[in-house]
Structure 1
């Protein structure tokens, strides 16, 4: 995950979640037009996207918690 100077780790994680959600939506649209083995393979890819999205959401949640705790104690999170 690339974090720019103007973007916190939590903001970068949020951006990754948004990107993964968009990939998921595109994949669902593609699956609708497929049949047979192609559909099965596309569904397997969607399953992998869903797992990746779950991890990205968990990472975002952790980073937001860290930033919130750092702010509560008057520190800036890395």
Structure 2
């Protein structure tokens, strides 16, 4: 089974990469973009077939390593 983790900066945390993307899009003529938040997606191949156990385990991975929970939020999707 696969798990997809989406990690984004929490609301209120400055996102300089997102701002750089927004500025670059404006320079390319895409003037209607008022804000950009940049994040990351991590896909994991997991052994086992218990969806609930997999979701719990991936959440532990996020809390321990994958996300900086002080400034980032994450969501887990079991595929």
Question: Is the TM value for this pair above 0.5?
Answer: no
TM category, shorter? under 0.3
Return the TM-score normalized by structure 2: 0.25
Task: Report which of the two has the higher share of strand.
Answer: 2
Task: Indicate the structure whose relative CO is greater, using CA pairs within 8 Å and at least 6 residues apart.
Answer: 2
| Greater Rg by CA | 1
Return the TM-score normalized by structure 1: 0.26
